[in-house]
Structure 1
């Protein structure tokens, strides 16, 4: 389906093509005010909720300025004092909690609004937030949101469409980085690196060597749930380890599609989960995937099996994982996750008190290369938005 003005657009590395059907209905009925139909300000302002980290921050902000935008940079998550000083010297800066919708709205109200909003993290853009950010009382009501990442589950995309806000993202830019961490979590779950390290630091050699010998990736069958860029990168990177790989993707992903993967296609989720030693989740968080793997599905898993989730917590609820690990009738032996329902400074998780887990603070895509690629891709898409 072709691109339509004012619809929610999820940018891929190629042409913009993803359109929400509900948004299209709203457009046809006249309920949408397309962002392109509102005049572009002569000097559009962009609120940067969280700039690219480290050495990538200045080039990203300079890139926005070169496109004709005037950045206002939120310094809350910029910890390097030299970088904070350099940003404040070159651009207007503020300090707000980007994980609070009210703080973002207040920034709009205090500074006359922003034509665009750029972020990396999953900031909460709810229906109420979009309604307030696009209010005509702002000198520059919001027309575009650009996220240097792939997941859009913290945005109300229907509301964005109804308010005529274009949404850009960068799926695929961090696929290799997330795949690397995924395999790292598999290795830790198999070899017990973190657990053995902690035991040695406590002076307990006996605990450190508990459970030896262990299974290796070469001895394991790995099942991938999902057929997108990250799942494919995991399959490719597993090949040198000698692991047997199975894949179960979306309904559109067929056995013929899997012929181009270093993996065997499985037709059902149950076949994959009952047949694999390690199950790794790589699907987006949508209404269709919420709770995709719960208590029933976890009971399908083999004795001593491992589940890795670097996708979204909503796909595999943490309380279901915790309960399965504590259930002697369930075969699940270890869980490794990089995503949680509550993240940031307010982090809590039932898995934090479970000894059969490896926890990572949602850093799968946070490599220098991946962040540079995401920033570059996003700048290209922002340029296209303003060129149109």
Structure 2
């Protein structure tokens, strides 16, 4: 008699190879439409399965955990961040949470570099001129940006992505500075040519580009606030490919509109798809729709990690990417 297959519900459409593999291995219910589940749909899913494959768009709080079915034992999040899940509440109910760390490191570092170049070299402005047919030809003073070689890059969060970005910045001739909750090993600093700043205020005063690469936690909420934005050089640029709420978005919009910052490149926002209208209107701001991890390779690798976590759990073992409160 074949072994009973674990019951899995997937909350969003995933790449076809991932969905096919899930169907091969588990008793899986896939979503027909690539739309976000409502709160009621999420609760119903949590009442009907043993494993919920959630994404960053699924906000699962303590009240929802309280309504989960008795069979739900694992929330296998499709993504590295878990700030959308009340992990402590899940733990109190013996529901494990796993994620997919390390998969999108290179993709996200690529996008941070791309945003940096897009803002400093005014690429969207040039693109808009060509597409609108308003470009009349080369001119010596048209669309003058600035080279990034020699500029000081300040990295807020020197984890996997921060280090991958530092390697790219080195290749462009940038000076690497960083602030992190803990100082990284001396060997890593030497490899990256990175200067550590214990005091974040002192670092933001001096850098030409500030890249946000830290997770969203209570400690990092509005870490880049109005006061710190006002410490920055008027010629400085901010790039954020991490989490939107690390930056006070309204304060950032005010400083940019006042000309107190040279520009910003954002892939994430404090209130999801509700973006400050000032940011939408400014020509020196590049806005992307949370696409830093959007490569076929990365999304399939994320799915493979989800499958490994579920398979390990189904075999009676601890998922390799289990998230533990207080160790995030």
User: What is the TM-score when the length of structure 1 is the normalising length?
Assistant: 0.75
1:105 to 2:43 alignment: yes
Q: Distance in 2 between matches of 1:253 and 1:206?
A: 50
Aligned match for 2:285, one of 345, 351, 357: 357
**Alignment-derived partner of residue 3 in structure 1:** none
2:295 matches 1:367: yes
Instruction: After TM superposition, give the deviation of residue 155 of structure 1 in Å.
Output: 0.9
Query: Are 1:385 and 2:313 counterparts?
Result: yes
Structure 2 unaligned blocks of 5 or more: 318-328
Partner of 1:116: 51
Q: Does structure 2 retain, via aligned residues, the 8 Å contact 1:46–1:72?
A: yes
For 1:271 and 1:256, how far apart are their aligned partners in 2?
A: 23
Per the TM alignment, residue 239 of structure 1 is displaced from its structure 2 partner at its CA by 1.9
Q: Can you give the 5+ residue segments of structure 1 that lack an aligned partner in the other structure?
A: 1-40, 78-95
Pairing 1:298-377 to 2, within 5 Å after superposition: 298-328=229-259, 330=260, 332-343=261-272, 347-350=274-277, 351-377=279-305
Q: Say how many residue pairs are matched.
A: 312
Partner of 1:264: 195
Give the TM-score of the pair, scaled to structure 2.
Answer: 0.87
The answer on whether the counterparts of 2:36 and 2:58 sit within 8 Å (CA) in structure 1 is no
Contact map agreement 1:51 1:120 (CA 8 A) in 2: no
Matches within 5 A, 1:245-284: 245-253=176-184, 257-284=188-215
d(CA) in 1 for partners of 2:138 and 2:201?
35
Higher relative contact order (CA 8 A, sep 6+): 2
* Higher mean C-alpha displacement, 44-53 vs 359-368: 44-53
2-side partners of 1:336 and 1:156: how far apart?
A: 29
3-state SS in 2 of match to 1:218: coil
Partner Cα separation in structure 2 for residue 270 and residue 206 of structure 1: 44
- The aligned counterpart of 2:323 is none
Q: Answer whether contact 1:169 1:378 (CA < 8 A) is retained.
A: yes
- Asked whether the 8 Å contact 1:284–1:311 carries over to 2, the reply is yes
Per the TM alignment, residue 343 of structure 1 is displaced from its structure 2 partner at its CA by: 3.1
Shift of 1:255: 5.3
Deviates further, 351-360 or 164-173: 351-360
Match of 2:30 among 53, 70, 73: 73
